Amino acid sequence: MCDCGPGQFACSAFAEEGDNCSCIPARWHCDSDDDCGNGSDELGCAPLCNPEEALCQNGRCVLKTQWCDGNKNCADGSDEADCGKAAL
């Protein structure tokens, strides 16, 4: 368990055992940026997408019509992962 000061978020709060503990400003928690380097500051955050959008693994939103369209619209490519493409 991290001992962060007031107004800080403990990066390892949701991290796996053995991860280093670090603190970031609390305002960076759930801001759609991986400030901790392990994604722990973006876990458990309420989705920020509109009903016509889907949430990328990196916390960004793209239109649902852009999901599995053959183009990488999420910076992390998560909109094109597991799209049910047939194996050769």
Tell me, yes or no, whether 12 and 38 share the same domain: yes
User: Counting Cβ atoms within 10 Å, is residue 30 exposed (0-12), middle (13-18) or buried (19+)?
Assistant: middle
Question: What number is the average pLDDT over the span 24-39?
Answer: 88
**Residue 18 within a domain:** yes
Q: In terms of residue numbers, what domain contains 19? A: 8-42
| DSSP structure string for 49-77 | --TTEEE-TTS-EEEGGGTTSSS--STTS
**Residue 53 within a domain:** yes
Q: Which residue has the higher pLDDT, 71 or 15?
A: 71
**Residue 87 within a domain:** no
Q: The tokens of 46 are what?
A: 């309420």
pLDDT one-digit tens code per residue, 33-52: 889 888 888 888 876 788 89
Q: What is the pTM of this model?
A: 0.48
Tell me, yes or no, whether 13 and 33 share the same domain: yes
pLDDT one-digit tens code per residue, 50-69: 889 988 888 788 999 999 99
Look up the CATH number of the domain holding residue 56: 4.10.400.10
Count of structural domains, the chain: 2
